[in-house]
Amino acid sequence: MVNLVLTLLSGVAGALVIFLLPRTKKRLYPPVVLIFTLASLVFCWLLARQVWQGQTVRLDASLAGLPFSLAPDPLGMIFGLIVASLWLFATVYSFGYMDKKPRLGTYYAFFLLSLSVTLSVAFSGNLLALYLFYELLTLVTYPLVIQTREEATKPAGRKYILYSLSGAALILLAIVLTYSRGGQMDFSTGPLLAGAAPAGLGWVLGLFILGFGVKAALMPLHRWLPEAMVAPTPVSALLHAVAVVYSGVFGILRTVYSIFGIELMQELRLARLLPWLAVFTIITGVIIATRQDVLKKRLAYHTISQLSYILLGAFTLQPWGLAGSLLHMISYSTLKITLFFCAGIISEQTGETDISRMEGIGWQLPRTMLAFGVASLGMIGMLPLNTFWSKYYLMQGGIKSGGWIFALALIISGIINAVCFIPTVVAAFKGNKTPSVEKGRKVYLMLGPTLLLATAAVLLGLFPGLVWPGIEKVLLQIFAKVV
């Protein structure tokens, strides 16, 4: 309990400290932010230990006459750990990237607040808490999207808010429908709608998928994501490749496994359509990605495609598929953040944002482009990178659920992924050798986390057993068996 509270409060407390620090003490920001992010991570690990050991950690409150609870279960814990761990890398990267940029106080305060809110989404123990924090996440990340205050941030920010709040409104409706149908809101007692008659529940499922699908960037609800790339790179990397979009994905995982449950899902016609929607998003997203010339936009469309890998696994309703989903949540996030970090270093050090102008850039930024290359291989799903394993499980899940075509889609997507990134890496080392610009404190602060993450991805590919115990816990809880 203490760990739970401290994990969540670290971010809020940090934001408060930043807010109260006088504006003249800007050099104090990085240490403060680092301390509170680290604290959150440490408590999160302690909490995870408790949860793995099977302890029930709960925090209940009756607010507004309605129950709200925080109760991390294995599924939420995996999401929470991903978030808390990657936040640290993005924070250090921010110290380099945001150096000497304006409005640092606002940036760090909301960066820390977003950490708390994202973790709260992960640890929500019932529908209302999930809704509350999901809605709050939109509001606390909005200032980060419009951080630069450039002209382009206005429409992008508007779209971000409008898409997300509309989605949240649909979720509220779906929650009330669920509540009036089953009278249950707490996730701990098994699927909320288990045993309910399936008639009419297709609509409820549809509302949930539409609502969470906005943040999970399920096509055609994805339009806000490429535009949100006006944010500073650490924000794009962490929030719009991982934290915010994962909260949508997580919401869908909850919908499928904690609200509807496998038996009910198998009976709903809509549930059989969902994998196809995911396949459509996977293929279309990556094809659109190859046509983008702005690197960050390409990465954004690529995110859209990859998120649907996770959704596809969840929609198969198979242990293999879910294991693949969870593995992909872990592996993809490490690699995608690496790619974004590289894009940030490129734009900061050379000023280039368009891929067509990046020929020969590898000579200037050798280590950056090395990391970029490693991550690109990962996106194809090659050994020794961690995404190989997640793709393997996802394909198994697809085949087990009776659709070899799902496995085929993943293979095709892998090939398009190669087209998407490998030429960039090759072109980067064309032309004459130019002197390296990877020097100075700023670059090291950005390069450090990037290389560490790339290394971590390789290590996780070589030793996938490191994360397996956590996934096993989720599978045992949901399917009562491991693959």
CB-nearer residue toward other proteins: 153 or 364? 153
If one asks whether residue 353 binds other proteins (CB under 8 A), the answer comes out as no
Distance of closest approach, residue 203 Cβ to other proteins, in angstroms: 9
The DSSP symbol for 21 reads: S
Contact present, 80 and 122 (Cβ < 8 Å): yes
Contact present, 285 and 351 (Cβ < 8 Å): no
Contact present, 258 and 320 (Cβ < 8 Å): no
Distance of closest approach, residue 106 Cβ to other proteins, in angstroms: 8
In the region spanning residues 118 to 177, those forming contacts with other proteins, defined by CB under 8 A, are 128, 131-132, 135-136, 139, 142-143, 146, 149, 157-158, 161-162, 165-166, 169-170, 172-173, 176-177
CA within 13 Å, CB half, 450: 34
CB-nearer residue toward other proteins: 136 or 307? 136
Distance of closest approach, residue 146 Cβ to other proteins, in angstroms: 6
Distance of closest approach, residue 205 Cβ to other proteins, in angstroms: 16
* Complete DSSP assignment for 110-176: HHHHHHHHHHHHHHB-BHHHHHHHHHHHHHHHHHHHTTT--TTHHHHHHHHHHHHHHHHHHHHHHHH
CB-nearer residue toward other proteins: 131 or 388? 131
In 3D space, the residue among 237, 236, 401, 420 whose CA is nearest the CA of residue 324 turns out to be: 401
Contact present, 285 and 308 (Cβ < 8 Å): yes
Distance of closest approach, residue 90 Cβ to other proteins, in angstroms: 22
User: Which two three-digit tokens encode residue 380?
Assistant: 């194809």
Site string for other proteins, 207-246 (x = CB under 8 A): ----------------------------------------
CB-nearer residue toward other proteins: 180 or 432? 180
In 3D space, the residue among 197, 208, 200, 199 whose CA is nearest the CA of residue 174 turns out to be: 208
User: Which two three-digit tokens encode residue 357?
Assistant: 């102008």
Cα 263 to Cα 190, 259, 312, 442, 447: the distances in Å are: 12, 11, 18, 53, 47
CB-nearer residue toward other proteins: 53 or 180? 180
User: Which two three-digit tokens encode residue 258?
Assistant: 């904690």
Site string for other proteins, 430-469 (x = CB under 8 A): ----------------------------------------
CB-nearer residue toward other proteins: 21 or 437? 21
CB-nearer residue toward other proteins: 232 or 449? 232
CB-nearer residue toward other proteins: 223 or 272? 223
19 burial level (CB within 10 Å; 0-12, 13-18, 19+): middle
CB-nearer residue toward other proteins: 43 or 131? 131
Distance of closest approach, residue 294 Cβ to other proteins, in angstroms: 24
Distance of closest approach, residue 132 Cβ to other proteins, in angstroms: 4
With CB under 8 A as the rule, give the number of residues binding other proteins.
29
In the region spanning residues 40 to 79, those forming contacts with other proteins, defined by CB under 8 A, are 63-66, 68
Distance of closest approach, residue 176 Cβ to other proteins, in angstroms: 4
For the stretch 196-206, what's the b/e string if a residue is b when 16 or more beta carbons lie within 10 angstroms of its beta carbon?
bebeebeebbb
Contacts (Cβ under 8 Å, ≥6 apart) of 311: 216, 218, 249, 252, 274, 278, 281, 325
Distance of closest approach, residue 114 Cβ to other proteins, in angstroms: 16
Distance of closest approach, residue 112 Cβ to other proteins, in angstroms: 17
CB-nearer residue toward other proteins: 63 or 482? 63
CB-nearer residue toward other proteins: 67 or 403? 67
Contacts (Cβ under 8 Å, ≥6 apart) of 53: none
Distance of closest approach, residue 37 Cβ to other proteins, in angstroms: 24
CA distance 91 to 367: 20
From the CB of residue 211, how many other CB atoms can be counted at a distance below 10 Å?
A: 28
User: Which two three-digit tokens encode residue 324?
Assistant: 């693949």
CB-nearer residue toward other proteins: 215 or 473? 215
CA distance 140 to 161: 11
In 3D space, the residue among 466, 345, 321 whose CA is nearest the CA of residue 398 turns out to be: 321
Distance of closest approach, residue 64 Cβ to other proteins, in angstroms: 5
The binding site for other proteins (CB under 8 A) comprises 63-66, 68, 128, 131-132, 135-136, 139, 142-143, 146, 149, 157-158, 161-162, 165-166, 169-170, 172-173, 176-177, 179-180
